[in-house]
């Protein structure tokens, strides 16, 4: 890995303002998914190290909470500036450990930094309320306070942004936070911590604990000093963590799986819909929770859309994300490849046709061909499960009512997309879709200003936007006697 600043590649965890090893010295190895090359190791920490981070965070809380929003915002702004100044190195670290094309990694760093910038500003806007009292002799004042020590458990698909959109609002609100990044992508997290340290964030406020997910997660969820958990990852682990948080009644935010419908109506701008589908489906090789998972195309444009999408998909370039022009990196690991293979095989067995792709890529490893399947039906596995890979399954539909019913026929409800130019239909369908986010005539919806989150089993809470900081605040009611 060729970095301008090699001191950004940290092979130690970050606790109480210092980089450190695990108490017992154990490590886990991190490899590059494109090449299999060993990149380095990080501490394999467990419950004891996590407890040390929680105690440090709790100690740091009072001083940070007592600062003004503007003071906290200034530190966050410094951090934002440092992230942007080191964006090239951060992107290289990310591509090396995660696999996404370098241009996408650069895009993610800017996106990740935007949450720090946004919440640096929002830190100044945490306002309370005064309410008209029903009593002549007392007044009602409502304040908002930092909830306390927070924990964040984050996935590998966005190694920077999933962290900053939790850490940004936590720090802005006045809370310390302990981050457990994915064991597959810890180096991006540790580089961010190094930059936070350089930005002047006092010790204990941001801790990055690497290692044994179950042991660290167990301590973070059981320890009564932790008041809030924010998790992004699979629905199964989200449910488990929610359960683990129940005995100590922690506030919980969850960003879980999706099964996004992407609907193309007859009246859509077809070329725009193809571009939208390509962006939504194949970004990060299909490994995002808002990726289009089921593409529904109306009868009248089905064949034309399928042909256009297949030719756009054929133009994608698969390879090592560090290579110029590559648009599709490897999948994160063999488990991910097996899932795509399983979905393809199941669909073919039940009558789907492969328009392009459908197999492991000749590059080997965890590379998979970008794939388009036609004649996909609700009975196939892809209809009910998130593929999390470069597979675009095309379902055929006839009426608006039918497609809304199918789109909502899932326990998930994160993102939905549709293309139509009929204003009445646009409004009707946007209202009818059961989800937290709707992209109308666009395949890309995420930014720091808009609230990100789901309904049903896709999760709880919202990240980013003016709503995102609320998850890190508690309301306090003060009844003031004036007699
Ligand atoms: P994915 O399938 O996307 O890897 P996971 O839910 O397995 O999703 O992982 C998301 C995050 O949750 C990662 O940081 C992972 O280490 C962590 N994780 C996995 N299992 C547990 C667990 N039992 N307790 C706490 N964290 C966990």
Report yes or no on whether pTM surpasses 0.95. Answer: yes
Please report how the helices 161-173 and 102-122 are oriented relative to each other, as an axis angle in degrees rounded to 10.
10
For residue 373, what are the β-bridge partners? Answer: 354, 393
**Cα 317 to ligand 1 centre (Å):** 30
For ligand 1, say whether the CB of 50 is within 6 Å of any of its atoms.
no
Q: What is the pLDDT of residues 333-392, one digit of tens each?
A: 999 999 999 999 999 999 999 999 999 999 999 999 999 999 999 999 999 999 999 999
Which residue's C-alpha comes closest to atom 27 of ligand 1?
213
Residues of the chain with CATH 3.40.309.10: 260-440
For ligand 1, say whether the CB of 258 is within 6 Å of any of its atoms.
no
For ligand 1, say whether the CB of 214 is within 6 Å of any of its atoms.
yes
**Given a cut of 90, is residue 246 above it in pLDDT?**
yes
For ligand 1, say whether the CB of 153 is within 6 Å of any of its atoms.
yes
Name residue, tokens 């930094």. 113
pLDDT score for 1: 86
**Cα 188 to ligand 1 centre (Å):** 17
pLDDT score for 261: 98
**Cα 356 to ligand 1 centre (Å):** 32
Q: What is the pLDDT of residues 339-350, one digit of tens each?
A: 999 999 999 999
Please state, as a whole number, how many other Cβ atoms lie within 10 Å of the Cβ of residue 11: 17
Q: Which percentage of the chain shows pLDDT scores above 90? A: 100
Spatial neighbors of 389 by CB under 8 A, at least 6 apart, are 285, 286, 287, 331, 336, 337, 339, 340, 343, 368
Query: To test the ligand 1 pocket, which listed residue (182, 210, 241) has its Cβ within 8 A of the most ligand atoms?
Result: 182
Q: What is the arithmetic mean of pLDDT over 33-57? A: 98
**Given a cut of 90, is residue 463 above it in pLDDT?**
yes
**Cα 155 to ligand 1 centre (Å):** 7
pLDDT score for 470: 97
For ligand 1, say whether the CB of 233 is within 6 Å of any of its atoms.
yes
Which of 255, 386, 448, 463 is catalytic? The answer is: 255
Query: Residue 128 burial (CB < 10 Å; 0-12/13-18/19+)?
Result: middle
Q: What tokens were used for 204?
A: 């204990």
Residues of the chain with CATH 3.40.605.10: 6-256+458-479
Q: What is the pLDDT of residues 264-296, one digit of tens each?
A: 999 999 999 999 999 999 999 999 999 999 999
Distance from C-alpha of 205 to C-alpha of 186, rounded to nearest angstrom: 18
Distance from C-alpha of 390 to C-alpha of 234, rounded to nearest angstrom: 18
Which residue's C-alpha comes closest to atom 23 of ligand 1?
214
For ligand 1, say whether the CB of 284 is within 6 Å of any of its atoms.
no
For residue 397, what are the β-bridge partners? Answer: 298
* Domain 260-440, CATH class in plain words: alpha beta
Q: What is the arithmetic mean of pLDDT over 164-184? A: 98
Q: Ligand 1, residue 238: give the atom nearest the CA.
A: 6
Whether 411 contacts 255, CB under 8 Å:
no
Q: Ligand 1, residue 232: give the atom nearest the CA.
A: 10
For ligand 1, say whether the CB of 244 is within 6 Å of any of its atoms.
no
Q: Ligand 1, residue 155: give the atom nearest the CA.
A: 10
Q: Ligand 1, residue 244: give the atom nearest the CA.
A: 24
Known catalytic membership, residue 463: no
The alpha carbon of 55 is separated from its chain's Cα centroid by a whole number of angstroms, namely 27
**Cα 382 to ligand 1 centre (Å):** 22
**Given a cut of 90, is residue 258 above it in pLDDT?**
yes
**Cα 393 to ligand 1 centre (Å):** 27
**Given a cut of 90, is residue 224 above it in pLDDT?**
yes
Instruction: Give the chain's mean pLDDT.
Output: 98
Question: Superfamily assignment of 6-256+458-479 in CATH?
Answer: Aldehyde Dehydrogenase; Chain A, domain 1 (3.40.605.10)
């Amino acid at each position: 890995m060729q970095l301008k600043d090699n001191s950004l590649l940290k092979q130690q965890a970050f606790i109480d303002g210092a980089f450190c090893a695990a108490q017992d010295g154990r490590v886990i190895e991190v490899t590059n998914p494109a090449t299999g090359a060993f990149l380095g190791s990080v501490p394999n920490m467990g419950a004891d190290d996590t407890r040390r981070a929680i105690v440090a965070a709790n100690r740091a809380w009072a001083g940070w909470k007592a600062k003004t929003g503007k003071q906290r915002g200034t530190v966050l702004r410094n951090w934002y500036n440092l992230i942007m100044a080191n964006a090239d190195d951060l992107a290289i670290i990310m591509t090396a450990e995660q696999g996404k094309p370098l241009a996408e990694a650069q895009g993610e760093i800017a996106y990740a930094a935007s949450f720090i910038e946004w919440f640096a500003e929002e830190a100044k806007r945490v306002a309370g309320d005064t309410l008209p009292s029903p009593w002549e002799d007392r007044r009602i004042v409502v304040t908002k306070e930092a909830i306390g020590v927070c924990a964040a458990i984050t996935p590998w698909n966005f190694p920077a942004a999933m962290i900053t959109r939790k850490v940004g609002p936590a720090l802005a609100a006045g809370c310390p936070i302990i981050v457990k990044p994915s064991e597959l992508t810890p180096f991006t997290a540790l580089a961010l911590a190094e930059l936070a340290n350089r930005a002047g964030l006092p010790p204990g406020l941001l801790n990055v604990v690497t290692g044994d997910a179950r042991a660290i997660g167990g301590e973070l969820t059981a320890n009564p000093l932790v008041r809030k958990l924010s998790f992004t990852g699979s629905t199964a682990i989200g449910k488990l963590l929610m359960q683990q948080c129940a005995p100590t009644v922690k506030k919980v935010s969850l960003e879980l799986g999706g099964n996004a419908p992407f609907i193309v109506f007859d009246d859509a701008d077809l070329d725009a819909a193809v571009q939208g589908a390509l962006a939504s489906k194949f970004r990060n090789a299909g490994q995002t929770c808002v990726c289009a998972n089921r593409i529904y195309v109306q009868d009248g444009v089905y064949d034309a859309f399928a042909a256009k999408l297949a030719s756009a998909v054929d133009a994608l370039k698969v390879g090592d994300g560090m290579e110029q022009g590559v648009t599709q990196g490897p999948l994160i690991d063999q488990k991910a490849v097996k899932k795509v293979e399983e979905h393809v095989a199941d669909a073919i067995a039940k009558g789907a046709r492969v328009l392009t792709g459908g197999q492991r890529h000749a590059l080997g490893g965890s590379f998979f061909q970008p794939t388009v399947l036609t004649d996909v039906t609700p009975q196939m596995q892809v209809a009910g499960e998130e593929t999390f890979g470069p597979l675009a399954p095309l379902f055929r539909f006839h009426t608006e009512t039918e497609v809304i019913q199918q789109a909502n026929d899932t326990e998930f409800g994160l993102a939905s997309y549709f293309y139509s130019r009929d204003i009445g239909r646009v409004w009707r369908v946007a209202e009818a879709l059961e989800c937290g986010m709707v992209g109308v005539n666009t395949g890309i919806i995420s930014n720091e200003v808009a609230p990100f989150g789901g309904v049903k089993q896709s999760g709880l809470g919202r990240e980013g936007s003016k709503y995102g900081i609320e998850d890190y605040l508690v309301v306090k009611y003060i009844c003031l006697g004036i007699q």
